[in-house]
Amino acid sequence: MIRFQTNNKPITKVVTKLESWWENFVNNIPNITVAVLVLVLSFYVAQKISSWLYKLIIKKIQKAAISNVISKATAVFIIVLGLILALSVLNLNEALASLLTGAGIAGAVVGLALQGTLSNTLSGIILSFKSKIGIGDWIETNGYSGEVMDINLKEVTLKSVDNHTVIIPNKMIIENPLKNLSLTNNMRVFINCGVAYDSNLEKVENLTKNTIRTTVEQIDSKKDIEFYYTEFGASSINFVCRFWILGGSILDRKKAKSIAIKNIKKVFSEENISIPFPITTIHLKQPGFAKTTISKL
């Protein structure tokens, strides 16, 4: 090893320090080499795994934004792990402890500041992997119903029956009940009506069932049409008719119900079956005038 000779004490101290550093560097060349190799390998592995994971997730959920976040987060984790291993190889335990402490404090601060955002992001990732909700499904949740148009890291976008866009945070979807009407191809439709007291009830039942069976195109012919009289009303005998249709959205149900109501009314009119409506009759008696009757619908 080359040593510098000098009579100047300050310069001698500097030279001695430089020589000490050089000796430490030379002695740690194997460790430095291993640390560099660990870092290079971690970058390489992170890139390969990130690319593979992105392709795997995009096939599963078909969401580029969520796939990108998950793959990059995995890559960052692998690189950080490689950095920690490299510092351990170099015997930089104090630096490693300081790094981990700082990362922990920074993580806690960021977590508290972005609690809502992180919660929605995590919920979005969970929703993307759930098979019970997807793009195109018709759902009911948080008092809203509509077709799922988009699921991203922050919210779920619905398109309601009246063509309005409803944006619901992912956290609310996860924490509240959700009804997915698209998980089955069958929906039940209810028709409530009433007929006059002098009607032939057997005839009313047969006409209602046959009308629904022959006019509603979406009806599920494999299941029976149910018909029940429910009560003696104030002005009518009321009934409920239930039938199944092949459909998975609110629009399918509304269309089938509308067709059934129009055709039941038409058939009842042709058969002279009355559908009563409430009538209030008020009698006014005044001295010197004839009795007056007012009917209020």
What type of residue is 91? N
* pLDDT score for 50: 84
* pLDDT score for 55: 82
Q: Find where tokens 């101290």 sit.
A: 13
pTM to 2 decimal places? 0.51
- Domains, the chain: 9-113 (1.10.287), 132-183 (2.30.30.60), 186-270 (3.30.70.100)
Residue 94's Cβ-count burial label (10 Å; 0-12, 13-18, 19+) is exposed
* pLDDT score for 163: 84
**Alpha-carbon span 161 to 147, nearest angstrom:** 8
CB 195 within 8 A of CB 231: no
What are all long-range contacts of 142-148, with beta carbons under 8 Å and residues at least 24 apart? 142/168, 142/172, 142/173, 142/176, 144/168, 145/250, 147/249
* pLDDT score for 232: 94
* pLDDT score for 237: 94
CB 46 within 8 A of CB 78: yes
* pLDDT score for 296: 47
pLDDT less than 70: residues of the chain = 1-28, 61-66, 92-118, 120, 128-131, 222, 279-297
* pLDDT score for 152: 76
Report the SS3 class of residue 273.
Answer: coil
**Alpha-carbon span 24 to 1, nearest angstrom:** 13
